């Protein structure tokens, strides 16, 4: 998503908010506007993404076919609070951290592995 349209809107808001005497806006108002823009462009989308990841990781159950953020495919054979056991081959099972599960096999990743 491009932030250019948001910056154009912010610039327009600053231009419209200039006092008629040609002076500057009080620094507190400018700071409040900048914090608001930062919140809606950066923080709110990050919070939504984090909530989605947490819901996904809580919903993992035995039998799910998943992929780890490291690229290991397997079927979930055991689930505990912090550890998920995956069967990656015949008679080969590995324990991985719940946070290392990146998504379901064959579907887009839920967890962004570049941030790990």
Domain segments of the chain: what residues? 4-57, 61-111
**What is the rounded average pLDDT for all residues in the chain?**
79
How does residue 8 score in pLDDT terms, banded at 50, 70 and 90?
A: low
Write out the two tokens for 91.
């008679």
Looking at domain 61-111, its CATH class is mainly beta
Higher pLDDT, 13 or 89: 89
Higher pLDDT, 8 or 59: 59
Higher pLDDT, 68 or 11: 68
Backbone phi, psi, residue 21, to 5°? -80, 5
Using the predicted structure, report yes or no on whether residue 4 has a pLDDT greater than 90. no
Using the predicted structure, report yes or no on whether residue 26 has a pLDDT greater than 50. yes
């Amino acid at each position: 998503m491009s932030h250019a349209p948001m910056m154009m809107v912010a610039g327009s808001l600053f231009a419209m908010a200039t006092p008629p005497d040609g002076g500057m806006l009080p620094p507190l108002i400018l700071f409040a506007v900048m914090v608001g823009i930062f919140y809606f462009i950066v923080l709110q989308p990050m919070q939504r993404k984090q909530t989605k990841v947490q819901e996904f990781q809580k919903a993992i159950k035995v039998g799910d076919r998943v992929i780890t953020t490291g690229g290991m495919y397997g079927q979930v054979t055991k689930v505990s609070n912090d550890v998920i056991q995956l069967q990656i081959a015949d008679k080969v099972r590995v324990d991985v951290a719940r946070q290392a599960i990146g998504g379901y096999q064959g579907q887009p990743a839920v967890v962004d592995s570049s941030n790990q």
